[in-house]
Structure 1
Amino acid sequence: MPQQIQAAVVGTGFMGSVHTRAVTAAGGRVRLLVGSTPDRARALARSVPGAEPAGFEEVLASDVDVVHICTPNHLHHDMARRVLEAGKHVVCEKPLAVSAEEAAGLAALAARTGLVATVPFVYRFYASVRLARSMIAAGGRAPWLLHGSYLQDWLAAPDTDNWRVDTARGGGSRAFGDIGIHWCDLMEFVTGQRVTALQASLGRAHAVRGGRPVTTEDGGVISFRTDAGALGSLVISQASAGRKNRLWFSFDGPDASYVFDQERPETLWVGGQDADRTLTRDPARAGTRPDGLPAGHPQGYHECFADFVADTYAAVRGQAPDGLPTFDAGLRAARLTEAVLTSAADNAAWTEIPV
């Protein structure tokens, strides 16, 4: 039996609690918890059997195998760098860094060290997403129209505020940098196509939050082209009333179209010229990621996160899981974000992106 992975989780907010749960579900053990204050670390540690509160320096000096970074965005780069330099594997929340230059440095450092370094693009782990990917890869004419949206409402109210609104902590992009990169990662993962150019218009629902002017976007509209000649469009929003976490895509081709809705993830709609069909998740179906969740038992966000962590830990043990999002995926997201901000600042001018 392989040795149990020992983990530290840095950050005690919502994402910190998601990571601690996923570590346990993936068969690992959370040994150390770091919070913004000792009290926050102790509070989360009480709900995680065997975990102890610690400081970040203690984590670096410890013998844990993997460090999960779940802090505000502006802390990601330096923490991930120090974890890798300490010889430990790392899982870093997205965005990997608040600039493409910093993200490139982290990706290069991970490559030099040979350590496992991953970013939680966990929507890749839905069975319906993997099925669409396998069906597109199986043959036929590639999708030529790639469109969709990612809509939320948690910042719809004008009096709602969050650290992500602050560019000093969240970075220059909020809606795209937080959720738009998830959609783009899925599009490139599922279709195998890469965005080569885009134009972006960004806007905000409220000019002021928490008594200060808002400089990051509440949403936007992005058009793009791919290396396979496809056209695409994406609508993103964190201020669309009633939309809780609706990540939706339609990848349309001459032979078949594929539609996925994250709020109804058990099904994949496949359209054909003569008939369409709705495929329900079944782990026995070819093209899906093997898992222990039987058909008819709905897969959800927590299961996808646990599968992502399980594959990360499999990589730590020397395996090579298919579709594991590494720091290269985090760098790709940073470059897309940089292009979005550049285009928006230049009146939605088309902006090229290295493939």
Structure 2
Amino acid sequence: MSPVRAGFLGGGFMAAVHSRAARAAGARLVALASSSPERAAQAADRLGIGRPAAHVAELVTAHDIDVVHVCTPNRDHAEQALAALAAGKHVVCEKPLATSVEDARAVVAAAAEAGVAGAVPFVYRYHPVVRQARELVATGAVGRILTIDGAYLQDWLLESGDTDWRADASLGGASRAFADIGSHLCDLLEFVTGRRIVALSARTSTVFDTRAGSAVENEDIAAVVVELEGGALGTLLVSQLAPGRKNGLVLELHGSARSLRFAQERSEELWIGSREGSQLVLRDPGAVGDRGLSLVPAGHPMGYQDAFNGFVADAYAVLDGASPDGLPTFADGLRAAEITDAVLTSARERRWVDVAPVPAPPESPAASKELT
């Protein structure tokens, strides 16, 4: 297969992460478009990407681009993904896939109709010990799942003067904390347990009505009680106002035989608990479920960018006809939109909400075109 030819929409932090992962996967970094030609030129130079594009339409219709990475503010994701899909491009779209269920469903349908691949970076799936935890659940070593305790805590919006475009609902969407990081927690929960959330009850809190003089209409904190298929119950806490927590994603599940705990800030470790005693297992390339995700020997720490690199490598493998296990696709992006919508509905109406996703059109399992 010839190298994947990648284009990028957006020139900020996530574009840097995506471009590093694309480079690691052997792609050619062809072009980048941003909010203006000047910003595109600056970002392309900074990130080592071939050329700036004057606007989105120029990039998505370029004949020398196979896959478009959408790394722009949330409100633009669906529109830009649809434009790329209409041009026959494969798409890697930052989450949220869309700021509404309807738009997310439209993106899924468009990818299926175009016969191209779409992926959403729920990259915490790509920590090797997460795959080990998933395998332990799947093989029955944990027993029947009884309860879940999960959290995703950050502190970067702790004070009223802290702000970001995500705090503007017109850019970030009706949900901020939950759509931004709670979606990762729920994806990790469903991925590791193999069970869907079927109902939830949520409360949200907006601590500061204004940030840096601008009105805030989306939440800082979300607390959610969930029920899973099979009857397990869980509590999830999501906050961007937790002092000292930079990226505190934690998933702990309790089965009838064992408990498991993964903490992203200590991503080389998996805690396994039982009534007879507990153990802390360190990442090992030979562990069950690893399937080659360990890029370096045991004792050489891996982290977030390594997980992202694994995700992009899998997304590109689909373009050559592969079906990588665990790749998060547009269907998973739609799932996140459905759960986010249920959280907002529950918080607004102060009631339990069923999370029964409306069936979406099937996604194309592989590319309809060969790369040239």
What TM-score results when the alignment is normalised by the length of structure 1?
0.97
Instruction: Indicate conservation of the 8 Å contact 1:152/1:239, yes or no.
Output: yes
Match of 2:343 among 340, 345, 349: 340
In structure 1, distance between residues paired with 2:314 and 2:153: 28
How much does 1:57 deviate? 1.6
Instruction: Indicate conservation of the 8 Å contact 1:208/1:214, yes or no.
Output: yes
SS of the residue 2:183 aligns to: helix
Match of 1:232 among 231, 234, 240: 234
SS of the residue 1:283 aligns to: coil
SS of the residue 1:299 aligns to: coil
Alignment of 1:163-202 (within 5 A): 163-202=165-204
Q: Which residue of 2 aligns with 1:139?
A: 140
In structure 1, distance between residues paired with 2:243 and 2:206: 14
Q: Which residue of 1 aligns with 2:45?
A: 46
Q: Which moved more, 1:31-40 or 1:330-339?
A: 31-40
SS of the residue 1:128 aligns to: helix
How much does 1:50 deviate? 5.1
Paired letter, 1:137: A
Paired letter, 1:190: V
SS of the residue 2:315 aligns to: helix
In structure 1, distance between residues paired with 2:310 and 2:304: 10
Matched, 1:249 2:251: yes
In structure 1, distance between residues paired with 2:131 and 2:36: 40
Q: Which residue of 2 aligns with 1:71?
A: 72
Matched, 1:321 2:324: yes
Instruction: Indicate conservation of the 8 Å contact 2:175/2:219, yes or no.
Output: yes
SS of the residue 1:221 aligns to: strand
How much does 1:162 deviate? 1.1
In structure 2, distance between residues paired with 1:17 and 1:49: 10
In structure 2, distance between residues paired with 1:116 and 1:206: 40
How much does 1:82 deviate? 1.1
Paired letter, 1:224: V
Instruction: Indicate conservation of the 8 Å contact 2:8/2:31, yes or no.
Output: yes
In structure 2, distance between residues paired with 1:106 and 1:60: 15
Change (3 A) 1:295 1:213: same
Instruction: Indicate conservation of the 8 Å contact 1:156/1:205, yes or no.
Output: no
Deviations 1:74-105 (A, max 9, x none): 11111101111111100000000010011011
Paired letter, 2:113: R
Q: Which residue of 1 aligns with 2:364?
A: none
Q: Which residue of 1 aligns with 2:313?
A: 310
In structure 1, distance between residues paired with 2:33 and 2:281: 42
How much does 1:51 deviate? 1.4
Deviations 1:92-146 (A, max 9, x none): 0000001001101111221222211000000000011110000100124222101
Instruction: Indicate conservation of the 8 Å contact 2:168/2:215, yes or no.
Output: no
In structure 2, distance between residues paired with 1:249 and 1:50: 36
Deviations 1:54-91 (A, max 9, x none): 02122122121100000011111111011111111000
How much does 1:227 deviate? 1.2
Instruction: Indicate conservation of the 8 Å contact 2:92/2:121, yes or no.
Output: yes
Q: What is the aligned length?
A: 353
Paired letter, 2:77: H
SS of the residue 1:321 aligns to: coil
In structure 1, distance between residues paired with 2:26 and 2:273: 39
In structure 1, distance between residues paired with 2:43 and 2:170: 26
Q: Which residue of 2 aligns with 1:30?
A: 29
How much does 1:39 deviate? 2.0
The RMSD of aligned alpha carbons is 1.1
Q: Which residue of 2 aligns with 1:222?
A: 224
SS of the residue 1:47 aligns to: helix
In structure 2, distance between residues paired with 1:289 and 1:281: 12
Deviations 1:219-242 (A, max 9, x none): 121001011110011001011111
Instruction: Indicate conservation of the 8 Å contact 1:98/1:334, yes or no.
Output: yes
SS of the residue 1:32 aligns to: strand
Matched, 1:293 2:292: no
SS of the residue 2:46 aligns to: coil
In structure 2, distance between residues paired with 1:108 and 1:147: 34
Q: Which moved more, 1:41-50 or 1:11-20?
A: 41-50
Paired letter, 2:58: E
In structure 1, distance between residues paired with 2:49 and 2:165: 30
Paired letter, 2:349: D
Instruction: Indicate conservation of the 8 Å contact 2:198/2:356, yes or no.
Output: yes
Q: Which residue of 1 aligns with 2:355?
A: 353
Alignment of 1:253-268 (within 5 A): 253-268=255-270
Instruction: Indicate conservation of the 8 Å contact 1:125/1:289, yes or no.
Output: no
In structure 2, distance between residues paired with 1:149 and 1:142: 21
Paired letter, 1:193: R
Q: Which residue of 1 aligns with 2:367?
A: none
Could you tell me the percent identity over the aligned residues? 46
How much does 1:212 deviate? 2.7
Deviations 1:162-188 (A, max 9, x none): 111111111110000000000000000
Q: Which moved more, 1:121-130 or 1:291-300?
A: 291-300
In structure 2, distance between residues paired with 1:113 and 1:228: 36
What TM-score results when the alignment is normalised by the length of structure 2?
0.93
